[in-house]
């Protein structure tokens, strides 16, 4: 068995009023990827902040190579070879990539900054990782994915035996994700141990050696990744049986609501064709950046269409305007609730009725029909199980789960023929999740067509009657009924040849 690098014994962290981490026994061996898996608030970030010296424990012990260690800051941890890439980046936006990569260790010649050496060092660091980034560019000019890569390169500066990555692929496209996985493989081969936080099943299946599941600050169990199904992990994480989370949705496919033929878009989608019928849930799966969001952005009129056709309820609607599609019965829920979906300063009620202001709520003489708005928003809140008191509060003050319910509520004020939900449950707790799945069930069984676009593999597998999988802008395959399963879908995600057995 490979050497034990890092170990915690009874590690705990208490904040006023909350035990964020309780009696945690964890170990990391050389050359392994050890995934931390758990819902929001389970204690994952707390654990890694203790391992990385960003935080001090209130109980227990950390051992490195069998010796007890105490870190009062991240530099202490670095000296022991532990380096962490957190979700909040540590780069200085106004400085160049090269300057950031040498921060605090700038090369000097004759007492002056050696700019040539600085750039050369950065170039070597990035090339070594296979990242193609201009070292002259200011960090503020990089995409989030590029910043992530620079952050990783910075994390690997010097001698590193333990690398901690907190949801590193959250902002990466699938090509960039592939690159990160290749890097992880190389680091493993060098004997680096990697602590990896992720809730994406496809990543875990691909790179994890062991998985520690956390719930409410405690360790539930540590398991080998091989032979552990996604369903088992979900059950351990949530403490609920799969059947309690994902409802059975009856399928009764009827009339075709949406037909897309050979659609291409400047946004990267190529030659995509699909059909969606009333009375069925159609899943759209794939890695982040595979084009699944982009496909519906083009269908819904948010991005341009360069080729192909869209038929909605039998009518040609290629490149149609959002407002027209909305009025004709296509409800679309965007993936980014803060950026696109919600006005944070408005109350939930105002957000829910917003799409109606220029339609059903416009009374004679241009007056707003306030009473109708109240009635419709109250009914919508009931359908999504949003508590009445949350209707009058600004959405900025609501939890992520309740914000998502408000977004769903926007689609519940009138009957649509097609509901498209892009990442419907990202970042919400398991209670909200099952409430939202119930909404989807009722819509589908009530005769609407539902599309679920999701990077959450179990969600797609359990809810969908049919699944399209996208890869690099194209539809890589379609699965139906019993053929829908983890392995066939994952194979389409990565292209079968690239996947580990
Ligand atoms: N700085 C802090 N102050 C108070 N409570 C915190 C702090 N950081 C985390 N917590 C609490 O500790 C618990 C675990 O949080 P966290 O480790 O961030 O979970 P995860 O990363 O798994 O989502 C949560 O209840 C969270 O609210
Ligand atoms: Mg966290």
pLDDT tens profile 187-224: 999 999 999 999 888 889 999 999 999 999 999 999 99
- Beta-carbon-side half-sphere exposure of residue 278 (alpha carbons within 13 Å): 14
Quick check: CB of 51 below 6 Å from ligand 1? no
Q: Is 20 in the pocket of ligand 1 (CB under 6 A)?
A: yes
Superfamily of domain 4-238: P-loop containing nucleotide triphosphate hydrolases (3.40.50.300)
Residue pair 406/385 in contact (Cβ under 8 Å)? The answer is no
pLDDT score of 7 more than 60: yes
Cβ contact 428:401 at 8 Å: yes
Check if 4-238 and 256-493 are the same fold.
yes
Residue 499 is predicted with a pLDDT of 39
**Could you tell me the distance, in angstroms and rounded to a whole number, from the CA of residue 40 to the centre of ligand 2?**
6
Structure tokens that stand for 99 in this block = 């300057």
3-state DSSP assignment of residue 170: coil
What residue segments make up the domains of the chain, in order of their start? Answer: 4-238, 256-493
* CATH 3.40.50.300 applies to domain 256-493: yes
Give the pLDDT score at 90. 85
Question: In this structure, which residue's CA is closest to atom 13 in ligand 1?
Answer: 20
* 312-346 tens-digit pLDDT: 999 999 999 998 999 999 999 998 777 778 899 99
What's the chain's length in residues? 501
Task: Judge whether residue 501 has pLDDT over 60.
Answer: no
In this predicted structure, what is the pLDDT of residue 498?
A: 42
* Full DSSP string of 167-208: STTTT--HHHHHHHHHHHHHHHHTT-EEEEE---HHHHHHH-
Ligand 1 and 430: CB distance under 6 A: no
Protein residue with its CA nearest to atom 26 in ligand 1? 41
Distance of alpha carbon 369 from alpha carbon 385, whole angstroms: 24
Cβ of residue 46 lying under 6 Å from some atom of ligand 1: yes
């Amino acid at each position: 068995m490979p050497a034990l690098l890092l170990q915690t014994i009874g590690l705990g962290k208490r904040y006023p009023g909350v035990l964020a981490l309780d009696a945690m026994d964890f170990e990391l061996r050389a050359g392994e990827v050890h995934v931390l898996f758990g819902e929001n608030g389970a204690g994952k970030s707390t654990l890694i902040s203790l391992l990385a010296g960003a935080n001090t424990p209130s109980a227990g012990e950390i051992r490195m190579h069998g010796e007890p260690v105490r870190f009062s800051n991240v530099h202490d941890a670095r000296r022991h070879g532990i380096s962490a890439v957190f979700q909040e980046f540590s780069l200085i936006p106004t400085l160049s990539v090269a300057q950031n990569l040498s921060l605090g260790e700038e090369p000097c010649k004759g007492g002056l900054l050696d700019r040539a050496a600085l750039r050369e060092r950065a170039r070597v660091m990035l090339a070594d990782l296979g990242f193609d980034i201009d070292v002259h560019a200011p960090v503020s000019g990089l995409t989030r994915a590029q910043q992530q890569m620079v952050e990783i390169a910075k994390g690997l500066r010097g001698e590193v035996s333990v690398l901690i990555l907190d949801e590193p692929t959250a902002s990466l496209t699938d090509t960039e994700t592939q690159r990160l996985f290749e890097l992880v493989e190389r680091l493993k081969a060098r004997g680096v141990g990697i602590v990896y936080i992720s809730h994406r099943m496809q990543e875990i299946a691909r790179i994890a050696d062991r998985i520690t599941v956390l719930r409410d600050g405690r360790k539930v169990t540590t398991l080998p990744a091989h032979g552990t199904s996604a369903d088992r992990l979900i059950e351990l994480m949530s403490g609920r049986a799969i059947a309690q989370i994902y409802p059975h949705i009856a399928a009764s496919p009827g009339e075709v609501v949406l037909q897309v033929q050979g659609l291409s878009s400047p946004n990267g989608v190529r030659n995509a064709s699909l059909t969606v019928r009333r009375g069925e849930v159609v899943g759209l799966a794939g890695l982040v950046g595979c084009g699944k969001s982009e496909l519906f952005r083009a269908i819904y009129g948010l991005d341009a269409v360069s080729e192909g056709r869209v038929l909605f309820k039998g009518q040609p609607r290629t490149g149609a305007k959002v407002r027209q599609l909305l009025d004709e019965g296509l409800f679309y829920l965007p993936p980014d609730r803060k950026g696109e979906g919600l006005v944070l300063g408005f109350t939930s009620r105002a957000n829910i009725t917003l799409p109606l202001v220029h339609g059903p709520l416009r009374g004679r003489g241009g007056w707003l029909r306030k009473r109708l708005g109240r009635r419709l928003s109250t009914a919508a809140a009931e359908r999504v199980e949003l508590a009445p008191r949350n209707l009058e509060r600004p959405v900025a003050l609501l939890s992520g789960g309740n914000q998502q319910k408000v977004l769903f509520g926007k689609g519940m004020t009138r009957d649509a023929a097609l509901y498209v939900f892009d990442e419907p449950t990202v970042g919400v707790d398991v209670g909200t999740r099952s409430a939202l799945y119930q909404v989807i069930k009722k819509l589908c069984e009530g005769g609407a067509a539902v599309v679920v676009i999701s990077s959450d593999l179990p969600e797609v597998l359990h809810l969908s009657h049919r699944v399209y999988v996208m890869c690099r802008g194209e539809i890589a395959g379609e699965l139906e009924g019993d053929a829908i399963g983890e392995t066939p879908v994952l194979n389409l995600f990565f292209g079968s040849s690239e996947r580990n057995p």
